[in-house]
Every structure is written in C-alpha cells, then in structure tokens.
C-alpha cells in the first residue's frame, strides 16, 4: 500500500475493483490521470500529466497487475500517457476522444465548450441538452458501451479505456441516473464494465441493450 494518499486510486473506483475481482472479462472506463491546469505555449489537446498524475497512473498499473491485458485511449496525449504508464501501449479510439461519441459538429462544439465551460456543457448534456452540435445522450453513450462490450467478447482479462470527464460522465449518467449536479469526476475515476453489468462506486447497474 502506498504511504502517499495522493497516489491512491479514487475510493469509488477501488470499491468497483473489489466488486469485479472475479470477473473473467472487464474493462475500466476512466478519466485520464492528473493533468496540469495550464501549460504556457501548449493547447489543451497537448497537455500531458503532472508528476503526481504520472505516479498515480503507474500505481493503477501496479494495482491491476498481470490481469491488465489490453488498453484503448483517446488520441490525446494525457490519455495515451495514462495507459502507457499503467503498463500498455494503447490503441487509439476516436470514440474515447477527438472527437468522441457525442460531438458531431466540431467547430460548433469547440465554440460551445469555450463559451460555456465544460461543467455547464456536460451537466446540460446529461439533462438532455444537445447544444445544437451533439448526439443525444443515449445515442452517444450507447455507441461507446457497444464498442467496449464487443471487445470484451473477444478479450479475456482486464482492459483499460482512458478517456475524458466530458465523455465518461455522460456514459455513467446514462446508465446509473447520476446527475453530477454537485460533484465532478476525479482524475482516474470511472466505472467498470463487464459483459453483465456496469459497476459504479461499488454498485451494480444493468446496462441497457
């Protein structure tokens, strides 16, 4: 066990890992590890991880151990780096980011996120707002779940899917009913998908088919 509390995994993810230990096939759908608030001269898409973020990603890999067999990642650097430090070179997935499963009009989507801010956009999306540039919550979330379930059918062991808060949160919301009205998804937090259920904060939810 780490003696540095900041290197521990989020409590909710730890609870879900404990509940899914016996699963022959599972995939962790998580937000990337800790990133800098800003980096002079870099755009948001170029951000890597902080020193703590890198250490926590390594800790995730140690926590999963030899059971970690495959990884998918948003093409953005901070997500790829999270998977790499956990122990695997990830396959890029545009469903997990850039552009992701929700945004269908990228210029308009960028404008909406920049003008309103990610918290306002994501919480509005969970309530059913499409902002004139996004797929409906169910349509976008279902596309990621179907993709991950298809991969679980063919791949034993544990997989890691590294994405962004603006993608992981709506997927969790669609399945669990969580509104995220007064909370936000921490770095490395997320849910675990098995062929039979989604596990969020140690609780099991039926996955819509």
pLDDT tens digit string along 21-30? 999 999 999 9
- Cα–Cα distance, 14 to 17 (Å, whole number): 5
For 79-98, what is each residue's pLDDT tens digit? 999 999 999 999 999 999 98
pLDDT at position 175 is: 98
Q: Which among 188, 173, 161 is positioned nearest to 27, based on CA atoms?
A: 161
Q: Does 6 score more than 80 pLDDT?
A: no
State whether the Cα torsion 36-40-43-48 is positive or negative.
negative
Give the per-residue pLDDT at 112. Answer: 95
Q: What is the pLDDT of residues 113-128, one digit of tens each?
A: 999 999 999 999 999 9
Residues 79 and 13: their CA atoms lie apart, in Å, by: 17
Cα 155 to chain centroid distance, Å, stands at 19
Transcribe 128-182 into DSSP letters.
T--TTTB--HHHHHHHHHHHHHHHHHH--EEEEEEE-HHHHHHHHHHHH----SS
CA distance 181 to 168: 15
31-50: pLDDT as tens digits: 999 999 876 655 666 779 99
The answer to whether 179 touches 126, Cβ cutoff 8 Å, is yes
Q: Is the pLDDT at 3 greater than 80, yes or no?
A: no
What's the gap between Cα 4 and its chain centre?
24
Q: If we measure between CA atoms, which residue out of 63, 62, 101, 55 comes closest to residue 82?
A: 55
pLDDT digits (tens, 9 = 90+) for 162-206: 999 999 999 999 999 999 999 999 999 999 999 999 999 999 999
Q: List the domain boundaries for the chain.
A: 27-36+43-203
**CATH classification of 27-36+43-203 is 3.40.50.1240, yes or no?**
yes
């Amino acid at each position: 066990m780490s003696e540095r509390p900041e290197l521990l995994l989020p409590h909710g993810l730890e609870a879900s890992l404990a509940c899914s230990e016996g699963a022959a096939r599972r995939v962790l759908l998580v937000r990337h590890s800790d990133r800098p608030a800003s980096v002079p001269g870099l755009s948001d898409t170029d951000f890597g991880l902080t020193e703590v973020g890198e250490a926590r990603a390594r800790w995730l890999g140690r926590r999963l151990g030899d059971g970690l067999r495959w990884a998918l990642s948003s093409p953005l650097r901070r997500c790829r780096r999270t998977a790499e430090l956990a122990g695997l070179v990830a396959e890029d997935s545009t469903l997990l980011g850039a552009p992701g499963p929700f945004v269908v009009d990228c210029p308009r989507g960028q404008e909406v996120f920049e003008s309103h801010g990610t918290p306002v956009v994501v919480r509005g999306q969970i309530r059913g707002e499409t902002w004139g540039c996004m797929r409906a919550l169910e349509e976008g979330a279902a596309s990621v779940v179907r993709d991950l379930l298809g991969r679980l059918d063919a791949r034993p062991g544990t997989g890691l899917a590294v994405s962004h808060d603006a993608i992981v949160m709506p997927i969790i919301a669609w399945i669990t009913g969580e509104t995220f009205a007064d909370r936000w998804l921490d770095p490395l937090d997320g849910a675990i998908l098995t062929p039979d259920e989604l596990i969020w904060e140690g609780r099991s939810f039926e996955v819509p088919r």
